[in-house]
Structure 1
Amino acid sequence: MRIFGIALAALTLSGCAGWGFDSNVSPEGIKEYYKGDGVTLYTKAELEGVNYVTLGSVEGEACQVEAQEAPPKVADARAHIRRRAADMGANGLILDSCIRFDDMPGCIEQVLCTGQAITVNKP
């Protein structure tokens, strides 16, 4: 009886051996998504007395293209602006505002965040 149980378990497990897992997430896509993690959000008050350089203005957006999609999230627009700041070589971001718009060209609803990409000289 014991040998039958072992044989049955081996047969069951071997049936799954040919199965694979396909994903649309590539290692490059993961790096792209998380590269904004190195960009810290700052308020102007937090930067008083801190040595930093402004690299330029930056924007990030989240857009609802189709009616059946979920409305855009501010968190997605903030993640996008942080990735754009990272592309500029920034390690910090002064977030000016995030505004929600309706009926924009190409978007049913859009969240647009604006700010300044900065490099903070850390001691």
Structure 2
Amino acid sequence: MKILFPIASLLLLSACGSNYVFKSNLDPAAINDYFKPSQVQLFENSVPSSPYVVLGMVEGNDCQIEQNAAPASFANARTDARRKAADMNANGILIKNCAEIPEPAEGCFSRTLCVGQAIKIKTE
């Protein structure tokens, strides 16, 4: 048992020096876009307690492309709106309304839409 520990440690340390290459299906150029929505605070049925400036209107939508796919959701539509607000350098979004579109656009089996205001909350 005393001999096994040094041998196992040696094997682990030798693996650290290997030239292992990590490959991923994530696009390195778009990695920041994946996390954009998390930079925008969502306000639904409330307003920020700090002063803010309205930067403009944004809308987000979700489309169910295939019949056997998950139905369009309000959560995905809000996330799309948050991403668009981040593109406007907003750090918050006031969601005004979300709705299921009764007659979805061509190519969608179901569709949801959320509309809101992109805002910049003043930080002290």
1:70 maps to amino acid: A
* Bigger strand fraction: 1
Count of matched residue positions in the alignment of Structure 1 and Structure 2: 107
Give the 5 Å matches for 1:103-118.
103-106=103-106, 107-118=108-119
Q: Distance in 2 between matches of 1:75 and 1:120?
A: 22
Check 1:88–1:68 CA distance in 2 against 1; reply closer, same or farther (3 A cut): same
Query: How far 1:44 moved relative to its partner?
Result: 6.5
Equivalent residues in 2 for 1:1-123 (5 A)? 23-43=24-44, 45-47=46-48, 50-106=50-106, 107-123=108-124
Q: Is the 1:56–1:118 Cα contact (8 Å) retained in structure 2?
A: yes
TM-score relative to the length of structure 2: 0.73
Moved more, 93-102 or 109-118: 93-102
- 3-state SS of 1:103 partner: coil
Q: Deviations over 1:31-80 (max 9, x none)?
A: 212111110112574335x3211001000011012212211122111111
How far apart are the structure 1 equivalents of 2:45 and 2:76? Answer: 22
Provide the C-alpha distance between the structure 2 equivalents of 1:67 and 1:45, rounded to a whole number of angstroms: 35
Query: How many Å apart are 1:29 and its aligned residue?
Result: 3.0
What's the TM-score, normalizing by structure 1? 0.73
Mind listing any 5+ residue stretches in structure 1 that lack a counterpart?
A: 1-19
% same residue: 40
Contact 1:40 1:92 in 2 (8 A): yes
